[in-house]
Structure 1
């Protein structure tokens, strides 16, 4: 099984997940709430992340995700909804401030 590294800021935590794993799997790899997940279906915005390295390692966002991110004011291409991402390669993300 090929594992890839997900570096999560601001905690500095590194998690290793199998290739193709949804980022929601981090909930099962740590006792800490590293990424706040709400609905897990891309409708609430609780899991907005900023991708600092490895944007292409999280799969391509679909039009619904891009539209929702725009509604949230997260344009520019470096933000994603973690619940919609699948880890394909190493990546570094920062949990976005949703306040």
Structure 2
């Protein structure tokens, strides 16, 4: 019998939306769980910057950012604080994010 899929909770602010995603899902996979596009994105490859989010809680649950992501966030002026590209984060535990302005 296969193992059951583990679900992890992602909270998206300012919507106050709680979504359960399979462990290891990219944050942009939220589009498959809700009828509206909550997290904007364009490329899914970390090249457009449309999906910048601020991590409020659970940074460890989103995996490590790589050099390319950190460099791109710096180019976008988002090197200070806890900003990430949602398309590059994989959800491994509960986390809370806020859509960047």
What TM-score results when the alignment is normalised by the length of structure 1?
A: 0.95
Matched, 1:25 2:39: no
Equivalent residue, structure 1, for 2:19: 15
Structure 1 position 33, deviation (Å): 1.4
SS in 2 for 1:50: strand
Match of 1:66 among 67, 70, 74: 70
Structure 2 unaligned blocks of 5 or more: none
Q: Which of residues 54, 68, 82 is equivalent to 2:58?
A: 54
**Structure 1: runs of 5+ lacking an equivalent:** none
Q: Distance in 2 between matches of 1:62 and 1:47?
A: 16
Q: Which runs of 4+ in 1 moved over 6 A?
A: none
Q: CA deviation at 1:77?
A: 4.5
Alignment RMSD? 0.8
| 2:47 corresponds to | 43
Structure possessing the higher radius of gyration over alpha carbons = 2
Cα distance in 1 for residues equivalent to 2:28 and 2:51? 9
Residue in structure 2 matched with residue 2 of structure 1 by the alignment: 6
Question: Which one is further off, 71-80 or 59-68?
Answer: 71-80
